[in-house]
Structure 1
């Protein structure tokens, strides 16, 4: 059985570690993976382009026509 603890405060983590160790549990710490830097760059560039007026406006019908 797996138990997942989320949002554990840094000061409380040693308590959980020592408790788990005394009970013979294995602790696996998984860090959240950050977004792909290229993806973030594209999103930020897109926001900048829109602010600079480089975007286009489309109606829902035009968008749906593209998806067909």
Structure 2
């Protein structure tokens, strides 16, 4: 069984870690990895250009043809 604790305060973590260790639980820490800043910049710029009307409209047939 897995238990996931979220939003644990840094001051509380050593207590929880000690408790888990004394009970024989395995502890793994997974830190969230933020998106690559360049990728986020590209997405935001693309959204902005679409809102400004600089996007390209395609029909489903055109899209399917493009993907062949």
Matches within 5 A, 1:1-68: 3-10=2-9, 13-68=13-68
Deviation (angstroms), 1:30:
1.6
Tell me how large the CA RMSD over aligned residues is: 2.3
- Per-residue CA shift, 1:9-44, capped at 9, x if unaligned? 437644421211223445332211001111111100
Deviation, structure 1 residue 63: 0.3
Alpha-carbon separation, structure 2, partners of 1:58 and 1:15: 57
After TM superposition, where is structure 1 displaced by more than 4 Å over at least 4 residues in a row? Answer: none
TM-score (norm 2): 0.74
